[in-house]
Chains A and B, each alone.
Chain A
Amino acid sequence: MVNPFDDIPGTTLFDAQRSRQGYHLNMFCMSLMKAENRESFRADESAYLGAWSLTAEQTEAILMRDWNRMLELGGNIYYTSKLGATDGLSFQQLAAKMTGSTQQGYADMMLAGGRSIEGNRSKSELPHG
């Protein structure tokens, strides 16, 4: 069955399937709400991640800080942003990274009124399909 949400470009819906896939990834991020866990993670990221039943792909995406890949593998932005906060990144800094923009370029786009909805409603509107 075609999921109509899949037609929205550049957008990952955090639905049941992704929530199941990303449970451990997101709960790892949740653990970073505690200062002592942030310290343990920073001290040895691979060892800390080893305790979380993550797939090899999820572990690699976290270590590489591949924010879009984390979303594809079941991450949710409100959870992955806690990893961002651990790295000292704000929501806007994360957004710039996920859009492939520079920090200044993204901030300028927002000041100019944000990303336009025109051309961004449907994948059918994209120049390369």
Chain B
Amino acid sequence: MAKIVAGVATSHVPAIGAALDLGKSGEPYWQPVFAGYDFSKKWIADLKPDVIFLVYNDHASAFSLDIIPTFAIGCAAEFPIADEGWGPRPVPPVIGHPELAWHIAQSTILDEFDMTIVNKMEVDHGLTVPLSLMYGQPTAWPVPVIPLAVNVVQYPPPTGHRCYMLGKAIRRAVESFDRPLRVAIFGTGGMSHQLQGPRAGLINKTFDTAFLDAFVADPAKLAQMPHLEYVREAGSEGIELVMWLIMRGALDDVVNEVHRFYHVPASNTAVGHLILENRV
């Protein structure tokens, strides 16, 4: 049987991808950001997961206002890199895992989560920046990836509780897959940031720290946080943090915090990063 072996949470700031792609990762502004992932690169090279299930949001790249799926699972064999207005990032195409993706789609739908199945989808910085942070700049990604795109652009996004429960359903789906695959699950986005309007540039370190603590220790309670509190305290784009709860729901209630990193700023955003493992 397949199993979920670890969870990774990370911000997916587009400027981080641009810094890497333009060879600026060693500059004083960016060096501390990438240094926060030095441990993570070694950790995942040792872990060698067979598949990554990557929760992110599309930023009006694959989806527009024409179709707005709340939970869209990528079941394709390959996902091209989106052109977000500056040309596609110079990273390898993302290879999918259609067999496991379809299994998870079927299992979660029968588990009463109404997933949208996507067979053709370009992926943007929301998905590729986390891969770059964890794997650097390989000529091919060393692992297949199942994308789960969550709507957090059009209000309302799914509730934190719904995301947390979906994580549990994803775990049940993975554990009912009849091959011994080791799956790592990523929850991405956040932390506090606001990109729009006169309040742009908002950062709330106190909120972020409390979120990180509760995310590790008491996720069921954290999952009750209403959208209003995310937007007020973490900024209009900080609401992306609900996606982390999908990852957290797929892990045990009690976990080991293997690594934590927090840094301000990356462009407009507070960077947060956690690695969690189930206690075996």
Contact = CB atoms under 8 A, between A and B. Distances in A.
A78 B59 contact: yes
A32 B198 contact: no
Interface string B188-218: 0000101111111111111100000000000
A86 B83 CA distance: 12
Interface residues of A, number: 48
Interface string A18-49: 01000100110010110000000000000000
Contacts of A117: 202-204, 206-207, 233
Contacts, number: 138
B268 A91 contact: yes
Contacts of A8: 199, 231-232
B189 to A, nearest CB: 13
B265 A79 contact: no
Interface of B: 14-15, 59-61, 64-66, 83-86, 153-156, 192, 194-207, 228, 231-233, 235-237, 264-265, 267-268, 270
Given A10-B199, A11-B199, A26-B60, 11 more contacts: A11-B236, A12-B196, A14-B155, A32-B85, A76-B60, A77-B236, A90-B267, A91-B195, A98-B196, A115-B200, A117-B233
Interface of A: 4-5, 8-16, 19, 23, 26-27, 30, 32-33, 68, 71, 76-79, 81-82, 85-86, 90-92, 94-95, 98-100, 106, 109-111, 113-117, 120-122
